[in-house]
Structure 1
Amino acid sequence: MPTNSAAPSPRSSMEPFALGVCSWSLQVKNVPELKGFLDQLGVDVVQIACGDPHHASWDEGDDLPSVARAAGFRMTGAMLGFPGEDYTTPQTILKTGGFGDPETRAERLERLDWALDRTLALGLTDLMLHAGFLPEIDDPARSEMLDTLAKAGDAARRKGVILAFETGQETAQLLRRTLDDLKSPSIKINFDPANMLLYDMGDPIEAVKILGPDIRSVHVKDARRPKVKGTWGEEVPLGEGEVGIPAFLDALKSVGYQGPLVVEREVGDQQGRLRDVAHGIALLRECLAR
């Protein structure tokens, strides 16, 4: 698909701190269901799962882009998950997440190419994904991982898309160093403060200050750190965890972030998630009004 085939991204006309939700948090299977939940929540902003047919398909299939663009909501960007990613434990995601496994890198770069085209078809300019665990500076595996990430950035640049790697599986300092090493104008950050707690990778407020210039989008989620090293922390509704939502919003403002705030909830059944997302949106509105 040619680079210039995408319509102007809806996010370019969004007000600062537009409130929305991640489509997968609502466990929807089709666009009308998504639109109905957005109407219930009183928002029209969504970060949308791009609908890989091998991983997280929509009922609309290949028609998803045209149906979503006609649905009347605004999309901040698309999210790609790779087939085979296993989030059961930190150890399984270390092995299966993103571009971490050398054995799956070639096929995942092909899947990324598909997702870049899907992003453009949705009329968007932003694609979010987990890059995988980033090797430490002195790790012999780092060079090949950075080479793969550079290829991903080049593919995005050729199509006029921004790749936003999601935070959490590494410290902010390591992610900062990685972005500086890559020097790719097409690679930015999708900041998730809760992931840093779930993976026990540092203070999310300090991380905002370190990564600020490259924060392209934000998942607003809350969590508590793990009690036992090497296990998951606990995801909780907004305001009940250790992020400190008012301080997080202040930190985003201090680094000049003006983009959307999309609530993500990945625990519970559909109705429980809907309830928790509604609570999160109400909390954000209250904090932003202060």
Structure 2
Amino acid sequence: MAIEPLAIGVCSWSLQVKNVAELKVFLDRLGIDVVQIACGDPHHAAWDEGDAMPAAARAAGFRMSGAMLGFPGEDYTTPQTIERTGGFGDPATRAERTERFKWALSRTKELGLADLMLHAGFIPAVGAPERKAFLDTLAQVSDLALRAGVTVAFETGQESSTLLRRTLDDLKCPNLKINFDPANMLLYDNDDPIQAIELLAPDIRSVHVKDANRPSTKGVWGEEVPLGRGQTDTRRFIQTLKKAGYRGPLCIEREAGTQSERFHDIEYGVHFLRECLAG
């Protein structure tokens, strides 16, 4: 089902749901029907339906903007642990994660979708000796996805927007795009999300709407907070996205708190986003 420009949605894992029926109940309570849905991997929530999840999701009546993949073994305890374990960064896990990626491509197609989001891992700097092998892996990811008819969007935050821009330009793979998460840039203390929009705008495929404050101490996590209460400047962020020509959905992500606390914050976020869009 088509999704209108700047439709408000939510990330399924933020609601900590275990099955499609539960997800539908939460969406109805929120008054929205757009969702970026977890493939069903351990990091982004398994589904009670198992292999029957795609059919259940397609029949549920909500609209899906894309699928999200997380890899087993990714450790977000600290910025340092995720740097070691995230995405395709560790050469020792690339082969098994490529196989998991192939599985996610099949799951994406089963869901009737053509967009798959994931964290690529910490991209090596230009000139770093490990950069070529890392980019070769991303080129392989692109080739696998191209054959499946899927666009892959790398989530922002684990690198600067300048490095991400250079990497996409170096790869020259038309099906590699960006899942823009402004709060991640603050949580990792890597960039200014407003300024990054202009640099990355041509390749922004999807957006996570999330808010955060930068860390006060270098090398530790920043603090994720409800929309409108952090340093993302969500109102300006939305207006800048619109001016840059972004017309995809706006999926709220909330990764802190209990399920009831997350729902409350997401419900507030839906109302807040509606005000931002009206303004």
* Smaller-chain TM-score bracket: over 0.9
Shift of 1:251: 1.2
| Corresponding position of 1:43 | 32
Q: Between Structure 1 and Structure 2, how many residues are aligned?
A: 279
RMSD: 1.0
Alignment partner of 1:75 is 2:64: yes
> Partner of 2:53: helix, strand, or coil?
helix
| Corresponding position of 1:147 | 136
Alignment partner of 1:106 is 2:95: yes
Find the aligned partners of 2:195 and 2:222 in 1 and give their Cα distance.
Answer: 19
1:89-143, Cα deviation, whole Å (9 max, x unpaired): 0000000000000000011011000000100000000000000000000211101
Find the aligned partners of 1:145 and 1:251 in 2 and give their Cα distance.
Answer: 32
1:23-48, Cα deviation, whole Å (9 max, x unpaired): 00000000000000000100000000
Structure 1's unaligned 5+ residue stretches are: 1-9
**Using a 3 Å threshold, how does the CA distance of structure 1 residues 54 and 207 change in structure 2: closer, same or farther?**
closer
Alignment partner of 1:195 is 2:188: no
Query: Quick one: which of 157, 163, 168 aligns to 2:157?
Result: 168
Find the aligned partners of 1:97 and 1:52 in 2 and give their Cα distance.
Answer: 14
> Partner of 1:278: helix, strand, or coil?
helix
State whether residues 193 and 243 of structure 1, in contact with CA within 8 Å, keep that contact through their aligned partners in structure 2.
yes
| Corresponding position of 1:275 | 264
**Using a 3 Å threshold, how does the CA distance of structure 1 residues 139 and 127 change in structure 2: closer, same or farther?**
same
Find the aligned partners of 1:14 and 1:107 in 2 and give their Cα distance.
Answer: 34
State whether residues 46 and 76 of structure 1, in contact with CA within 8 Å, keep that contact through their aligned partners in structure 2.
yes
Runs in 1 of length 4+ with deviation above 2 angstroms? 52-56
Query: Quick one: which of 53, 60, 64 aligns to 1:64?
Result: 53
| Corresponding position of 2:223 | 234
Residue type of the alignment partner of 2:15? L
Residue type of the alignment partner of 2:35? V
Shift of 1:56: 3.3
Alignment partner of 1:261 is 2:250: yes
> Partner of 1:189: helix, strand, or coil?
strand
Query: Quick one: which of 74, 84, 98 aligns to 1:85?
Result: 74
Give the fraction of aligned pairs with identical amino acids, expressed as a percent.
Answer: 69
State whether residues 43 and 74 of structure 2, in contact with CA within 8 Å, keep that contact through their aligned partners in structure 1.
no
Find the aligned partners of 1:262 and 1:272 in 2 and give their Cα distance.
Answer: 18
Find the aligned partners of 2:228 and 2:143 in 1 and give their Cα distance.
Answer: 38
State whether residues 42 and 71 of structure 2, in contact with CA within 8 Å, keep that contact through their aligned partners in structure 1.
no
> Partner of 2:260: helix, strand, or coil?
helix
Find the aligned partners of 2:35 and 2:92 in 1 and give their Cα distance.
Answer: 33
State whether residues 190 and 218 of structure 1, in contact with CA within 8 Å, keep that contact through their aligned partners in structure 2.
yes
> Partner of 2:46: helix, strand, or coil?
coil
Residue type of the alignment partner of 2:223? E
Find the aligned partners of 1:188 and 1:64 in 2 and give their Cα distance.
Answer: 26
Find the aligned partners of 2:152 and 2:130 in 1 and give their Cα distance.
Answer: 22
Shift of 1:246: 1.1
Find the aligned partners of 1:185 and 1:116 in 2 and give their Cα distance.
Answer: 17
**Using a 3 Å threshold, how does the CA distance of structure 1 residues 93 and 54 change in structure 2: closer, same or farther?**
closer
Residue type of the alignment partner of 1:20? G
| Corresponding position of 1:157 | 146
Find the aligned partners of 2:3 and 2:11 in 1 and give their Cα distance.
Answer: 16
Find the aligned partners of 2:148 and 2:175 in 1 and give their Cα distance.
Answer: 10
Structure 1 length normalisation: TM-score? 0.95
Structure 2's unaligned 5+ residue stretches are: none
Residue type of the alignment partner of 1:103? A
Find the aligned partners of 1:29 and 1:232 in 2 and give their Cα distance.
Answer: 27
Structure 2 length normalisation: TM-score? 0.99
Query: Quick one: which of 11, 16, 20 aligns to 2:9?
Result: 20
Shift of 1:53: 6.5
Alignment partner of 1:134 is 2:112: no
Find the aligned partners of 2:129 and 2:243 in 1 and give their Cα distance.
Answer: 37
Find the aligned partners of 2:132 and 2:220 in 1 and give their Cα distance.
Answer: 28
Shift of 1:52: 2.7
The correspondence of residues 242-253 of structure 1 with structure 2, limited to 5 A, is 242-253=231-242
